[in-house]
Amino acid sequence: MGTGLTPPTLELVALTGQHVQLVLLATAGATALAIPLGVVAVRRPTLGRFILAAAGVLQTIPSLALFGFLIPLPWIGGIGARTAIIALLLYALLPIVRATVTGITGIDPAVRDAALAMGMTPRQRLLQVELPLALPVIVAGLRVATATAVGVATVAAAIGAGGLGSYIFRGLRMHDTGLLLRGGVPAAALAVALDIALALLSRNLDARAHGGRARVRGLAAVTVAAIAAVLAAGAWAGRAQIVSGAASAPLLRVGSKDFTEQRILGELLAQTLESAGIRVERHFELGGALCHQALAAAEIDIYPEYTGTSFTTILKHPAGPAPRVVHEQVRREYRQRFGFEISDPLGFRNDFAILVRRETARRLGLRTLSDVARHAGTLRAAFGPDFLTRADGFPGLATRYGIQLGQAPREMDLSLAFHALAASEVDLIASNSTEGLIERLDLVQLEDDQMWFPPYEAVFVARADALARIPALGVAISSLSGRISTEAMRRLNLQVDGERQPVELVVSRFRQGLATAKQTP
């Protein structure tokens, strides 16, 4: 890429830039909205109480829930930075509105009387007296808002907005403290740096409001310059990181969901395309159903998917048919309903896997899910929120097998559930059959002997227009079809999750292996 920086460094710079951008746009927007609201609240106290109460309620909504509320809304919703900025903006409102009210009402009554008695119009009083004198307090409120925004912005990674939270979510998924720190430390440093800058600004503004000589301009200039530098570096690193190849080459946007296997598959396709001379933009780690939405919105051109997910979650069919039938039906319906093309299977299945410790399996003689039903009363289970509530998840599974747990399963983030299982805090979790940790933690996958789970064959989903536009795409896809076994996928996952190897490296080594295998059939 010719940037002279290693991919991890580029990524850190890019994510820091994104983080600063999220925080900056959100707090700037919040300030533009909150100061007028604060002024209205001062002028119309009844309305003011309502404004403050509303802003207060907004702030009590948990951040993930707020993102959830916003996603389905037209115009302001959707995935990515825009939704995140709006959520952050809503959080930032209260401290700034409150500071504006406090700042204006806290002005010496003699000064306010003097302004009134001089025959200043309301507008003149506001602009010449009230706002200048309230400014130090408003900036102090902005300080609180900014610190909050830096923190909440880490959650924004969950809806594909990027930022330093990407490291934190990745670190949680991969049990990688190093990754957690790589996201957490810069975020904390950013919060501290912005806080110091705003504290200095507030103090100098306060000095100026009381007739002191203050270095407001110089200070503001240095802060703005520093922020601009971070943004520019981030934008540059972002481009350098996600876009490759000559500017004249055709461009393809590859997406992936937010777990390791998907990143590996996305990277595998990206590298394959790049070696075919196609420029690739990587939009990896999109959470939940965002990939499908992004593909429908033509924000990406292709992403890895599983036929079972398409069949049950997107097309809403009940599980049951055999793998081949599912694949054919998904391919047909995707073509008709969305204009998407489903590739041939890549070779492995990532089915639901119900996992127990080897010791538990041995002690209770567990081999199949029917065995689980017999010992369910003594087993403690933990599931991710998805699996816990989806009809094709635990509720259906429990009905089919007649599993009645002694205590209700605990809702737990998947990565934490592995920790809990390894620490014997729970006995049974649900994960995926290609999870690298299954081997690393020496877990046993129980057989779905009644074939309750749908088959999750890995495929690529591509927009038909992208396939038509870039013929090499179809070639690249078929060169990968049937080439990745379940064992191979588990190994790849383990190399990234367990052995902490960079995805790029793991993928390029795998591609070399594929090439060698092709030459020696």
Partner 1 sequence: MQLTQNSTSNAAETVISFRRVSYCPPGATTAVLDELSLDVEAGEILVLLGLSGSGKTTALRLVNRLVEPTQGEVRVEGLSTMAWDAIQLRRRIGYVIQEGGLFPHFTVARNVAVVPTLQGQQPDVVQRRIASLLQLVGLPAEQFGHRFPHELSGGQRQRVGVARALAGDPPILLLDEPFSALDPLSRTSLQREFRDMMARLGKTAIFVTHDIREALVVGTRVALLESGRLSLVAPPNEFAQARDGLAGAFLETIAPSWGPA
List contacts with partner 1 (CB under 8 A): 108, 110-111, 113-121, 124, 128-129, 132-133, 208-212
Give phi and psi for 252, each to the nearest 5. -130, 135
Of 123 and 316, the one with the shorter C-beta distance to partner 1 is 123
Question: How many angstroms separate the CA atoms of 303 and 265, rounded?
Answer: 8
Angle at 485 between CA 453 and CA 401, to 5 degrees: 15
Of 120 and 416, the one with the shorter C-beta distance to partner 1 is 120
CB of 41 to partner 1, least distance (A): 20
CB of 140 to partner 1, least distance (A): 17
CB of 118 to partner 1, least distance (A): 5
Of 110 and 408, the one with the shorter C-beta distance to partner 1 is 110
Of 117 and 247, the one with the shorter C-beta distance to partner 1 is 117
Of 114 and 189, the one with the shorter C-beta distance to partner 1 is 114
DSSP state of 431: E
CB of 216 to partner 1, least distance (A): 11
CB of 96 to partner 1, least distance (A): 21
The answer to whether the beta carbons of residues 243 and 483 sit under 8 Å apart is no
Handedness of CA 473, 475, 481, 483 (dihedral sign): negative
Of 220 and 416, the one with the shorter C-beta distance to partner 1 is 220
Residue with tokens 């200070």: 219
Residue 2, burial from CB neighbour count under 10 angstroms (0-12, 13-18, 19+)? exposed
Collapsing DSSP states into helix, strand and coil, what is residue 161? Answer: coil
Residue with tokens 């100026």: 208
Of 216 and 361, the one with the shorter C-beta distance to partner 1 is 216
Strand 410-411 with 381-383, pairing:
parallel
Question: How many angstroms separate the CA atoms of 9 and 15, rounded?
Answer: 10
CB of 136 to partner 1, least distance (A): 10
CB of 108 to partner 1, least distance (A): 7
Q: Which distant-in-sequence residues (6+ apart) come within 8 Å of 415 by Cβ? A: 172, 173, 174, 175
CB of 190 to partner 1, least distance (A): 31
The answer to whether the beta carbons of residues 278 and 473 sit under 8 Å apart is yes
HEC string of 342-359 equals ECCCCCCECCEEEEEEHH
Of 65 and 118, the one with the shorter C-beta distance to partner 1 is 118
